Chain A
Amino acid sequence: MNTKVTIAGVEFKNPVMTASGTFGSGMEYSNLVDLNGLGAVVTKGVANVPWEGNPTPRVQETYGGMLNAIGLQNPGIDVFIERDIPFLKQFDTKIIVNVCGRSIADYVEVVEKLGDQPVDMLEINVSCPNVSHGGIAFGQKADCLYEITQEIKKKAKQPIIMKLSPNVTDITEMAKAAEAAGSDAVSLINTITGMKIDIHKRTFALANKTGGMSGPAIKPVAVRMVYQVANAVKIPIIGMGGIANAEDAIEFMLAGATGVAVGAMNFVNPYTTKEVAEGIEQYMKQYNIENIMDIVGTVR
């Protein structure tokens, strides 16, 4: 039985990853979760310089999900290289660094600094809904996405994954633009823009007014988009959006995802990634699946 998957030439011991922003840089969860059991740790977004993020409250619960507006708080790439990469290198798992920025130059600076670092892939966050300028703009217009992908691809030493926003009319247009510009893979979906109002205080529940919705409530939207993108492009897909267990992860794989990432559910059950990896093996046994890659995109 083979649980290995390959994405853009990088081999992962299993398809299970952490979704960026929900797992810090692995350190925070390492007392609870054996990182060696993960296909990859996808880190929280890192920019060229430290970012303060948004005021609090930054998180709120919604029915079957949550809203967040952290605002990409991060310590900057220099601290990240010095502290977080050496930490992650202690474990037998792949490292995918999520890169954020406000301008193409910001992204390129981070990508260049990571060039000689022992990381396996770069996930480019062009779809965070919680920063006021930059970021999201690159992910909502196909020509902008094409341009930034091309510029990053010129400098990147590792394969890149463009992370797509669901807050668009047609996500396949975005996926096609990323593919045409040379992206090695795509990941989807980022959070869905939402809002919650506190009726007692008569104000916004998040200081940022809007936030990104995640959790099991958004899963059907994410599965649909993975399916659409799988039909539109040839590059591999990492699927995410409300994955809570192996059944959810397998849905994403059948829809066309080669890798699967657990996001908000890490907060609800820190052992979710492990349970998903184990559940995928059980599913393989149950249906005599020799290679997990064989099921990817088989529901058409």
Chain B
Amino acid sequence: MEQMRKETATVYSQQELATGIYDMWIETGLALMAKPGQFISVYTKDKSALLPRPISICEVDQDHQRLRIVYRVAGKGTKEFSGYQKGDSIDILGTLGNGFPLEAAKGKKVFLIGGGIGIPPMLELAKQLAAEKSIVVGYRNDELFLADELAKYGKVYIATEDGSVGTKGNVCNAIEEQGLKADVIMACGPMPMLRALKAYAEKEGIPAYISLEERMACGVGACLGCVVKTKEKDHHSHVNNARICTDGPVYLASDLDI
């Protein structure tokens, strides 16, 4: 059984999928323990940039022991990663976080919803989830990264901010325009999108599992940097804060005060 660890892994491949969006496969035994919705911490070689970058797992290849991450270049850490080539070393810690609860959606009608750089974790989830999947994804423009791959696992509905493809607007606009319905929501994306989906799920009376993002330091639950407000007292912290890195990143939206 694989155990959470920090290791020096090897880049298997890298390409730019869309403007500023990179797609990297990493050779690592951690693939054997990876679950959809989990993430890894990636460390820079530039030691002026100390903290690991938490990046969600896009796809898992257990046969070849590889993990795929798809990430946006947002600062000097991710800029460094984007320059890595096949064969380069990459320090990672993983696998981290709880992941999506596959059992909660098994056999049901489910929305898999991704917004922007929240789309990548939906791919492995779509692969592994045995359910009737409507995959709703929101982009800025017509650079529809991963949409064709998602289409292998369910019907894909697209929203774009600039209206160039699909529904003009966000994922909620697409759900409304297409008259879509589901029994369960699983989503990852920016906080305004997640808040809107939490409200939508409450109105529809269905559960929504949402994956959150926050500034992190340790990634293992020690520093308490990445907390989210919870409705009830958290079992570990004994206050209304849960740690996104260990108790999350996936939460039942109704448990949160966001």
Report the separation of the CA atoms of residues A44 and B221 in the bound assembly, to the nearest whole angstrom. 12
Min CB gap A28→B, angstroms: 4
* Majority secondary structure, A binding face: loop
* A21 contacts partner chain B, Cβ-Cβ < 8 Å: yes
* B195 contacts partner chain A, Cβ-Cβ < 8 Å: no
What are 25 A-B residue pairs whose CB atoms fall within 8 Å in the complex? A21-B223, A22-B222, A22-B223, A24-B221, A24-B224, A32-B4, A44-B222, A52-B240, A53-B227, A56-B225, A58-B215, A58-B225, A58-B226, A59-B217, A61-B49, A65-B50, A66-B51, A70-B225, A73-B224, A73-B241, A76-B238, A79-B238, A215-B50, A267-B51, A268-B52
Inter-subunit contact A64/B48 (CB<8 Å): yes
Chain A residues, Cβ within 8 Å of B52: 267-268
* B26 contacts partner chain A, Cβ-Cβ < 8 Å: no
Our pick among A53, A56, A266 for the contact of B218 (Cβ within 8 Å) is: A266
Chain B residues, Cβ within 8 Å of A28: 218, 220-222, 246
Known: A51-B239, A53-B241. A24 touches B48 (CB 8 A): no
Q: Which A245-300 residues have a C-beta within 8 angstroms of B?
A: 264-271
Contact string, B193-220, partner A, CB cutoff 8 A, digits 1/0? 0000000000000000000001111111
Inter-subunit contact B222/A60 (CB<8 Å): no
Closest residue to B219 on the A side, CB-wise?
A: A267
Min CB gap B91→A, angstroms: 9
Chain B residues, Cβ within 8 Å of A51: 239
Q: Which B32-85 residues have a C-beta within 8 angstroms of A?
A: 43, 47-52
Contact string, B1-18, partner A, CB cutoff 8 A, digits 1/0? 001111000000000000
Report the separation of the CA atoms of residues A50 and B233 in the bound assembly, to the nearest whole angstrom. 11
Report the separation of the CA atoms of residues A76 and B246 in the bound assembly, to the nearest whole angstrom. 20
Known: A61-B50, A73-B237. A267 touches B227 (CB 8 A): no
Min CB gap A147→B, angstroms: 30
- B-side residues, CB < 8 A to A, are 3-6, 43, 47-52, 93, 214-228, 236-241, 246
- A-side residues, CB < 8 A to B, are 21-24, 28-29, 31-32, 44, 50-53, 56-61, 63-66, 68, 70, 73, 75-76, 79, 215-216, 264-271
Closest residue to B41 on the A side, CB-wise?
A: A267
Inter-subunit contact B223/A56 (CB<8 Å): no
Chain B residues, Cβ within 8 Å of A73: 224, 227, 237, 239, 241
Inter-subunit contact B215/A53 (CB<8 Å): no
Our pick among A31, A44, A58 for the contact of B4 (Cβ within 8 Å) is: A31
Inter-subunit contact A59/B227 (CB<8 Å): no
Report the separation of the CA atoms of residues A28 and B221 in the bound assembly, to the nearest whole angstrom. 6
Chain A residues, Cβ within 8 Å of B219: 267
- 6 tightest A-B CB contacts, nearest first: A24-B222, A59-B225, A75-B238, A28-B222, A28-B221, A57-B215
Report the separation of the CA atoms of residues A58 and B5 in the bound assembly, to the nearest whole angstrom. 25
Min CB gap B103→A, angstroms: 25
Our pick among B49, B220, B238 for the contact of A50 (Cβ within 8 Å) is: B238
Min CB gap A113→B, angstroms: 15
Chain B residues, Cβ within 8 Å of A265: 50
Closest residue to A215 on the B side, CB-wise?
A: B50
Report the separation of the CA atoms of residues A103 and B21 in the bound assembly, to the nearest whole angstrom. 50
Closest residue to A51 on the B side, CB-wise?
A: B239
Min CB gap B234→A, angstroms: 9
Inter-subunit contact B216/A29 (CB<8 Å): no
Closest residue to B225 on the A side, CB-wise?
A: A59
Chain B residues, Cβ within 8 Å of A56: 214-215, 225-228
